[in-house]
Structure formats: structure tokens, C-alpha cells
Amino acid sequence: MKVLQQLSSRLSVLAALVLIGGVLLAACGAGGGGGGQTPGTTGNATKPTTANTPSGGTTAVTTKPTQAPQTTAAAQTPSAGQTPSATTTASPSAGPTGTVGLGTTVEGTNLAPALMGGGASQPNADPNATLTLNLGNEVTTVDPQVESFVNEIAISSKIFAPLLAINQRNQVAANVATKMQVSKDGKTYTFTLRDTKYTKTGRTVTASDYAYAIQRACSPVVNGNYSSILFDIVGCQAWRTADPSKTPKSKMQQMQTTVQNSIKALDPHTLQIKLIEPAGYFPYVMATWVTYPTPKESVQKGGANWWKNVDLYYGNGPFKLVSHTNKQQWVFERNDDYFRGKPGLAKIVYKEITSSQTEFLAYKQGQFDIAGLDSTLLPQVLRDPTLKSQLHRQIGANTFYMGFDNKDKPFNNQKVRLAFAYALDRERYIKQISNGAGKPAGSFLYPGIAGYQTKFQQKYDPAKAKQLLAQAGYPNGRGFPTLELNYDNTDQSAKQRAIFWSQNLKSVLNVNITPTPMDPAQLQTYLSQRSPKLKIYLLGWIQDYPHPQDWLSLVFGNNSSLAPYGWNDPHFNQLVNKADKLPIQQAAPIYQQADAYLAQQAPVAFYVHSEILELIKPYVKGYVRYPTDPMDMTWQPEKIYETKH
């Protein structure tokens, strides 16, 4: 997801990330399919060419047909602040360096155990507890097949259960689908579904409901913002990108029929999906919100805006929506019959506050039980013993970088690009600009995701930077052209970042990089068009699902529209194309090679992985920590409970 550095529409818990980093990308826009934002771990983001802050979600990726190593694992995940018992632990299997739990699976499947167990079963859980937190801005939509902003997914993820899930080891886990079979050629997925029920009608959710929902995401009429992640499905891209006003009805019907034949229910408990080519990350895609089983009868009654009617907006998830007051709040009550276990919270209330300072004050006054923390407020929290004890920090699934025009001088020279990469003082940036929040980034993938490597990391080395620049023909910066570093002229933080890096590069390389304000719409246009007018710029990426394909392949592979102008490296493409077709166990070492090669070639200079800063009241228990989220509210919100206070 590509996003400029504004906080205009963000989930409060994630706000700190954007302030630490810079403009953001996200996988949502790669490959087409609408122009919305993607979910993630910090704020909101739009399509590859957006000016908002990215949403950070943790959703979707693929695995190939071959069987994963079989080890046993418990069905219930351990929660933060709760001592795991023998029935709540699962040890990740050994994998390539830097990977997380690549091999823990259920016998006879490629899936990790379902995430069973609700917080209501905890002996000290308050049965009447209400969790109050901040959503940020009002949503544009919460239609699962249309939405893309993080605050939108925050709503729908409480209502619906995806086909598959992601556990706290970034593994694909059984969910509504209890079994997944893959054909020998890797192109046909067959899912066996358990019985679940829609909360407000009691109707059993069947394979036909999931087929209908995924088909909707491929429809040009529905016009979903995240359709592109389904383009591996036979016929999906052709139908989604067709223009109904210019395409004969017979042709449109033919394309729709192709998709319906590619995504179909074989019986009430069996869903089959056919792909164009093997895609090792596809199971991760089946864990995203695009698979949420939108009730067909709700769409038929309510039309395109069916989701605006509280009575029609229901699913098979852990909670049910009981009220929504526009631009004020959303109120949920638990689904006592949720298939994974009775949720620990009786209610969840999302308030809508756009100011980080106001949210912080509300938390201190006891109005919020959890709150995202802006990094500018971090020093204040660290000085307060009570607040400090409630602070949770975790590196997010994001990477910020300085991008270059790889086609034209001076950055068509790898030595120049590497010189800039070695010149960036990442530690000082984190200390001065983000108040100590964040981790230096030396490669694109973040620690904890499969494919992360330490063989080659870009790092701060002024002597080497000067040496490389001299070897490139610019000794002590002589002859190096003056370049503009454009930034969003409405964002003071963006200005501070641009000034910091220009001064840093001047002091190390003696080059003149001029911080230059630009209208955010114009900057967004330049970024989306990969314009050669941008010789140097700041950008970032937040994942949609925890798989390296969502990073390396989508952003830098095969002349991606998200890649820097002029970057289209055959060797890199060969590596990621090979890895994308493989199960993650086999693909991880190849992704490691690609990640190291990318850092060495330096089409961009990586500088920071931003940090999630979150305040959590001590009576909030049971929440599950993920590799990039200190308190999961997407995959396992039913685990959360409160003790009486």
C-alpha cells in the first residue's frame, strides 16, 4: 500500500507508525482492482498511489500443494497476560533463519490448528465487560468485498469469520474451513467447511455463501477495492477489470460464468476454487476480509448500501452490530454461539476521535481501555510510571525507504544508490524524528516474516558511503547535481523528515538535496505514475498479509507499478517468480536470496521499521500478541476479556 504521510483516516492504535516513517505503500493496489486503502497496522492507506496513511493489516498469503511437516499443536493460542496451559501452546517448527513457525500443521492438512477458545471461559472474566477504544475516522464502507481501510476492516472483522485465519506465528490456520486440499498441479483448492450460523437470522452459513462473497469481490459492478488479490483465480481479473458500459452483455455474462465456475460450492460443506497458476500464498488470501460471507439476502434487500442498515449487517463472527451513530460510535454485542468459543467481552464500543492528543487524554481519564500512542507523546508516557507500565511496543509490519529514479543519472549507478544507503544515519533518525520509536531497516522484509535475512543489510557506514560516491565519479560530492526531495506541503512531520535526510546526506556525502514542498495530490500523481520527475523521494510499505510475496513480488517484482522508476531486474524477477509458486517452507530460502539481492542492488535505501505504541489498561486480559501487533483485534478478538475493576 502506497500512502503519503497524512493521518486523515487512521485506526488510532496504529497512528504512531506513519509519524515515524514516511509515505506508505501497501499491497492493496498492486495489480489493479479499485482504488481504496488497505488494512494494516497503522492508520489507513489507499491504493498504490495514495496520499493517506496506510492501514496495516495482517492478512493473506499462500502455500503450495505439497504437504508441510507434520507436528502437533494445540487448538487454542496462548494469550498475553495469561499463563498458557498445556492446551494452549503450540511450538513453531524449525525453519530458515528469520522465519516464524513454518511447519506446525494439523495432521492431513496444510493448515495450523483452528484458534479455538473464548475469553468468557476464563474464571476471573467479568461477564458484563465493555471494551471501549478509538476507531479514528468514520468509515466509507464496511462491505467486506469493497472495503480496504483499516478502520473498515476493524468493524467487519468483528462481524464475520473468514474462510481461514492467521495465527500468532503468521501461519495459516483452520477456521470456518477445517480442511484444505490442493491438487497436484497446485491450481485447485478444495475447502471443507464447518457449520456456522448468521447471528441475526440463525441461518446456516454454507459453502455457497462463501462462494457468493468471493465472486462478489471479482465483480466490476461491486467495484471492490481489494479485488486484485484474487486475480490468481481463473477469470477474476478479466471480469473485474471489464467495463460494463463498453462490453457486450453476452461477453460480461460469459466472464461472470467463468468466475462462478472457478469459485463454486460442490455441496453445502465443500468450496472449490480454481487458479490460473500455482500460487503458494493463496491460502493467506483466503484469510482476508474479501472472503467474509456477505449474506446474499442482505444485498438483495439493501442494494449497494446494504451495510448501512444495522438489521442487514450481520455475519457468523464473534460479535454482532447493535447500533451505529454516524461519526460518533459503533456498538457491538458478543455472539454467544460463536463457533470458536464465547467471547470474553459482553460489548465492544468504538468511538470516533481523529485527534491523537484527544485520544490520549481520553485514555488517561479512563474513557478508553486501550489507545494508540503517537510517537510525539512517547517521552511524556515514559516519564509517567503508571502510563509507562501500561505501554506496549512492537515493531510493525512495515518498512520505510528512500526511493530513487533508477533509470536516469545519477541514480542509474548502483554505487550512487548504495552510497546513499550507507549514508543514512538510521539510529539518529529514530532518536530525533520518532522519539526513539522504531527499528533501523536494512532490507525490505521485517524481522519475523518468512524470508527475512541478515546476510546483507544496508547500514550506516559514512566511510563506505564516501568511497562509493567517489568511485561513481562524484568525489566529496563534486559534480553531483542538486536534487529536490519533495514532501507533502500539508504535513509538518513530512517536512521534518525531508529536512533531516537532506542535512544527513549533506554532512556525509556533501551533496545538495533540497527539501521541496509539493501539493499532496500532485505528489500522489507522480508516485502513481512512477514519474521520472521524482529523482528522490520517501515512501513506505505496510503488509496486507504476512507472506513475502506481498512484499518482494508485489512491490519490486516484474516491473511492478509500485517499484521505483527504472527498476525491473531480471535476476530478482526470476527469484520471486520461482518462490511465489512454492509452499512457504520451500520458498523462504529463495525469498531470503531475493531480499538480500534487493538490498545489495539498492533500488531504494531502507531506513526504518516503524513501531506500534499502544496503551492497555491492566484489567484488559486475554489478548493475543502477534509478531507485529501487541494486541490483536482482528484474528482473535474473542480471546479478550476484562477482570472487574
Predicted TM-score (pTM) of the model is 0.83
286 and 167 in a common domain = yes
580 and 452 in a common domain = yes
Residues near 276 by beta carbon (within 8 Å), at least 6 away in sequence: 187, 232, 233, 234
Which of 239, 273, 296 finishes a domain?
296
Residues near 261 by beta carbon (within 8 Å), at least 6 away in sequence: 234, 235, 274
pLDDT tens digits for 345-399? 999 999 999 999 999 999 999 999 999 999 999 999 999 999 999 999 999 999 9
423 and 292 in a common domain = no
State mean pLDDT over 449-474. Answer: 98
Rounded distance, CA 514 to CA 334, Å?
Answer: 54
pLDDT > 50? residue 71: no
For residue 386, give Cα distances in angstroms to 249, 390, 552.
64, 7, 41
Residue 592: give its domain's CATH number: 3.10.105.10
Which of 241, 275, 296 finishes a domain?
296
551 and 411 in a common domain = yes
pLDDT mean across residues, the chain: 86
Q: Is 467 a domain residue?
A: yes
Q: Is 360 a domain residue?
A: no
Element (H, E) at 427: helix 426-433
Beta pairing partners, 413 = none
* Set of cell numbers at residue 626: 502477534
- Tell me if 34 sits within 8 A of 224, measured CB to CB: yes
pLDDT tens digits for 584-636? 999 999 999 999 999 999 999 999 999 999 999 999 999 999 988 999 999 99
407 and 287 in a common domain = no
Residues near 254 by beta carbon (within 8 Å), at least 6 away in sequence: none
Which of 260, 277, 296 finishes a domain?
296
Q: Is 580 a domain residue?
A: yes
Q: Is 239 a domain residue?
A: yes
Closest CA to 228 of 55, 34, 39: 34
Count of structural domains, the chain = 2
Q: Is 234 a domain residue?
A: yes
pLDDT tens digits for 110-122? 799 999 999 999 9
Rounded distance, CA 107 to CA 175, Å?
Answer: 15
Residue 174: give its domain's CATH number: 3.90.76.10
Angle, in degrees to the nearest 10, between helices 570-580 and 584-601: 160
Write the single-letter amino acid at 500.
Answer: F
**Is residue 128 helix, strand or coil?**
coil
Q: Is 287 a domain residue?
A: yes
Rounded distance, CA 135 to CA 140, Å?
Answer: 13
Q: Is 292 a domain residue?
A: yes
Q: Is 230 a domain residue?
A: yes
Domain hosting residue 595, numbered range: 403-611
- pLDDT at 149 (0 to 100): 86
Rounded distance, CA 404 to CA 561, Å?
Answer: 14
pLDDT tens digits for 307-332? 999 999 999 999 999 999 999 999 99
pLDDT tens digits for 407-422? 999 999 999 999 999 9
pLDDT tens digits for 194-214? 999 999 999 999 999 999 999
